[in-house]
Every structure is written in structure tokens, then in C-alpha cells.
């Protein structure tokens, strides 16, 4: 199986093509990762073009995986829209991938694993795993609640950009800005397309709010009391 993976959910813009051989071993055909907090829409097209060209072209792809959240509101939509458009053009299934699942798969362990993303405003997005299987979440959680959760259950491996915020003193911290593309490729190959649609996973409402009046519309006068 040969898959293209796309990640614009966090502070990177990344694309890669991976292929699983008859021996079951995955190899990287080509990949590119650029750290960035904004500007994914300008870079994702050229990155995909280059990695696909370096790996033999679009015809050999079997499916496309794209991170679906949690993550940046704008970044998620950029990656999902691009992947869905490409999937429609190529007639290939597009798999939505959990950012937290991807982080956990990037640092596998036989013991407890917590994937953590800094959600700002005193919160993290967190999901826990035991023996590689998800145990709870994903969910937004206050920092104190997350620290209390990770204070029990053994020696944790805590992975992700929010790991240092909540990891207990004895934890193994894996500070990653984003998931490993090879881990995302494996998740793409294993996923059921029907059960993992490419649609955004928002765990919290966006910070922006719709305007209360249209452009040029007069402000409402306060009610008299």
C-alpha cells in the first residue's frame, strides 16, 4: 500500500509519501516538513507536488491521510480542503486522522501514554493510551486536572507540544511539535475510511465570534430602563 499523508493541524506544514512492502515494512518515499504557525495555505500545494513527484507520481497512491484535529482552526481547514479536493480528483479515499492519535503513535510504549497539545487559556487537549489502545478522550482539560490525571497510573510517557505543561516529575517527556509522518502513514493504512471521515474535529469553540451587526449597519441603541 502507498499512502500520502498531509499535516497542517499544528505548527508545521508537512507532507509525505510512504509505501508498505510485501514484507510488511514501511519505507519513506519522500517527505517534507516545514515549521510554521501560519501560511499553510501557501505551502501545502508545493510540498505535496514535490513529495509526490519524488515518489513516482499520483497514480500509485492508494489513499490519502490528513490530520483532522484537534489543532489550529485555520490550519485544519487548509489541510482538509486540500486533501478532499485531491481525493476527489484522484478518486482515492481520504482518511481523517486524530492529531492526538498521531502523536501517541509517534512515541509508542507498552505502558501508559498521554498525547497532549497546548490549547492555550490554561487548558490542554489530552488523550490517554494504555498498551497502545486509547483509554479516554480526546477532550479539553484544565492544567490542574490534567496534572492530577497523570499523577496516577504508573510512569507515563507524555508526548506533544503541551507535554511539559502537565507531565509529572517522573514522566518520560517527548516534546514534539507534530506527529511523525511515518506514524500517520501507518494509521492511514489501518483506518476504516467509513469510520474515519475527513472532517474537522474541534474540541472547543473558536476564539473568533461572529459580528453582531453587518458592515454599515447602525449600532443598536441600548434599551431604556
Residues 83 and 122 in one domain: no
Residues 81 and 136 in one domain: no
Distance CA 92, CA 97 (A): 16
Q: What is the mean pLDDT of the chain?
A: 91
Residues 9 and 118 in one domain: no
pLDDT the model gives residue 57: 96
Residues 17 and 69 in one domain: yes
pLDDT the model gives residue 223: 54
Q: Would you say the C-alpha torsion 190, 97, 114, 141 has a positive or negative sign?
A: negative
Q: What is the mean predicted confidence (pLDDT) over 58-84?
A: 95
Q: What is the pTM of this model?
A: 0.88
pLDDT the model gives residue 205: 60
Q: Is the pLDDT of residue 142 over 80?
A: yes
Q: What is the mean predicted confidence (pLDDT) over 95-107?
A: 96
* 12-22 residue pLDDT tens: 999 999 999 98
Residues whose CB falls within 8 Å of the CB of residue 225, separated by 6 or more in sequence, listed in order: none
Number of structural domains the chain divides into: 2
Residues 18 and 52 in one domain: yes
Band the pLDDT of 221: cuts 50, 70, 90.
low
* 52-68 residue pLDDT tens: 999 999 999 999 999 99
Range of the domain at 120: 108-174
Bridge partners of residue 142, in order along the sequence: 123
Q: Is the pLDDT of residue 81 over 90?
A: yes
How many Cβ atoms sit within 10 Å of the Cβ of residue 47? 20
How many Cβ atoms sit within 10 Å of the Cβ of residue 88? 10
Share of the chain above pLDDT 70, in %: 90
If you search the block for the grid coordinates 513529495, which residue do you land on?
51
pLDDT the model gives residue 225: 46
Share of the chain above pLDDT 90, in %: 78
pLDDT the model gives residue 11: 92
Write the CATH number for 149: 3.30.420.40
Q: What is the mean predicted confidence (pLDDT) over 63-87?
A: 96
The distance from CA 57 to its chain's CA centroid, rounded to whole angstroms, is 25
Residues 125 and 160 in one domain: yes
Amino acid at each position: 500500500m502507498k499512502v500520502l499523508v498531509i499535516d497542517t493541524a499544528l505548527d508545521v506544514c508537512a507532507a509525505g509519501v510512504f509505501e508498505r512492502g510485501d514484507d510488511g515494512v514501511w519505507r519513506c518515499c519522500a517527505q517534507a516538513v516545514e515549521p510554521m504557525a501560519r501560511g499553510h495555505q501557501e505551502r501545502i500545494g508545493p510540498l505535496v507536488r514535490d513529495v509526490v513527484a519524488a515518489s513516482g507520481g499520483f497514480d500509485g497512491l492508494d489513499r490519502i491521510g490528513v490530520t483532522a484535529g484537534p489543532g489550529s482552526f485555520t490550519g485544519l481547514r487548509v489541510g482538509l480542503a486540500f486533501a478532499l479536493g485531491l481525493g476527489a480528483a484522484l478518486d482515492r479515499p481520504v482518511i481523517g486522522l486524530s492529531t492526538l492519535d498521531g502523536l501517541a503513535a509517534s512515541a509508542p510504549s507498552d505502558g501508559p501514554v498521554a498525547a497532549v497539545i497546548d490549547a492555550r487559556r490554561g487548558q490542554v487537549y489530552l488523550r490517554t493510551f494504555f498498551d497502545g489502545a486509547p483509554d479516554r478522550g480526546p477532550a479539553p482539560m484544565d492544567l490542574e486536572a490534567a496534572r492530577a490525571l497523570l499523577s496516577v497510573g504508573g510512569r507515563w510517557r507524555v508526548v506533544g507540544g503541551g507535554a511539559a505543561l502537565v507531565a509529572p516529575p517522573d514522566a518520560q517527556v517527548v516534546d514534539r511539535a507534530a506527529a511523525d509522518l511515518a506514524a500517520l502513514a501507518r494509521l492511514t493504512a489501518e483506518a476504516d475510511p467509513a469510520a474515519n471521515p475527513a472532517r474537522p474535529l474541534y474540541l472547543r469553540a473558536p476564539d473568533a465570534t461572529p459580528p453582531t451587526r453587518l458592515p454599515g449597519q447602525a449600532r443598536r441603541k441600548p434599551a431604556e430602563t
